[in-house]
Structure 1
Amino acid sequence: RLCPRHPAPPRIYMRRIKDAKDRIREQLQTTLGDGSLNIEFTIKEKNRRILALEGEKRRLATEAAQTIERLRASLRASEAHRKLLEAGGGQSASHRDDEWASLRESRDAEAAAARLLQQQLDSLSSAAQSSAAAEQSSAAEAQRLKEEKWQLEQAKQRLEQQMSQLEQQALGRESVAQQQQQRQWQQQEMEAQLAAETAERARLAAEAERLAA
């Protein structure tokens, strides 16, 4: 508190300003810390994961298309072979039986390949659904982090405004204290001058009385 008779010297107010700055800086560090940097890194990491998932989806889709094309080519070759066997082609019965057995084995292998392909397609579909869900989650998380970053920046601005107000208040108090100190010095100077004049008048009066006697 300011006291008219004992105003605080300016250095006390400067120390108070420094203490206020330190408290606000600690509050900023506690509130923000490295959160802003962490948010930026997290957003970039989420975007990187989204791009990686999209690349995986494209790779799986390409692989599925290639597998389907290979299976279709195998089925066309098998069908042509079957028609050739049915036509006979001058082959012996034993030879045709062997060819039919080979064709059945080929068809069994193709059926197994078809089942494997179906499993791959199911896996691709599941992966695509998981990727879409991950993308939505990542987008929502990125949006949440951006909002959190905005809130932290707003809090930082409010604290900086408080710091500026404290500095202005401290500077105002320092100016008032200096004015009060100046008035006190002037009053003391006037009182000293008045005392000197009073003493001089008393000396002159005493000298006059001595001369009159």
Structure 2
Amino acid sequence: MTNTLLCPTRTFDALPFIRRAESGYIRHLPTLTYCLVEYDRAHYSDALFQRFSQPFPTALANAVAKRRAEYLASRYCGQVLLEQAQAASTVIGTHDRVPQWPSGWRGSISHSDRYALVAIAPESTGLMPGIDIEQWQPEIMLETADMFASPDEQKLLSALTLPYPQALLTLFSAKESLYKSQWPEVRRYFDFQAAKVTYVDEVEQRFTLTLTETLTPKLKCGTDFNGSYTLLNDAVITCIG
């Protein structure tokens, strides 16, 4: 299947920790740039923070190696994008577990056991990036579907040609992207039932999520959000701008 989401313009690595990396732009939102890396947790060490010129946050002092590795891989992605954009700072801070972007920038971070993914855009574009990557876990999706997909949503997904577990994972990821996109506006937790999938175009790999409740005066029940998805080896990526 053709990738209708990511448009890579550069590939590179930082072996042995960063096995492969690419950067480019989102096809339907060219001002939204991304960096995707495949990293190897077995080659993580704390010394890599210095190698990548990233501060070691105190919040990771008691974290396990897995958490440190995924944090560093995602910050490396952000650093690559901010350097390419010639931003004044290439360091993404953290406050209450929420990324703090350099002045003038908005972004979104996601990671899994193998991948880290970041998308950024200048604030001047008006975009509110939300991006997510999830690795295949069909059994878990089938077992937990009722937690994030309503009966109507499950009916819609089951009618797609996409295998049902993959369709469920795509919906799960899409709602994660929505949450990340709208967090700067909502600034509070809202669950999976706050939006529902109302449209999926399998040819263009596009979807629409519609709010089922009012989140803020600007984000009223019935508001639509359009996004895209793509399948990547053993994972799915979704993006809302």
TM-score (norm 1): 0.17
- Between structure 1 and structure 2, the one with the greater Rg is 1
- Structure with the bigger percentage of strand: 2
- Structure with the bigger percentage of helix: 1
Q: Which has the higher contact order (CA 8 A, sep 6+)?
A: 1
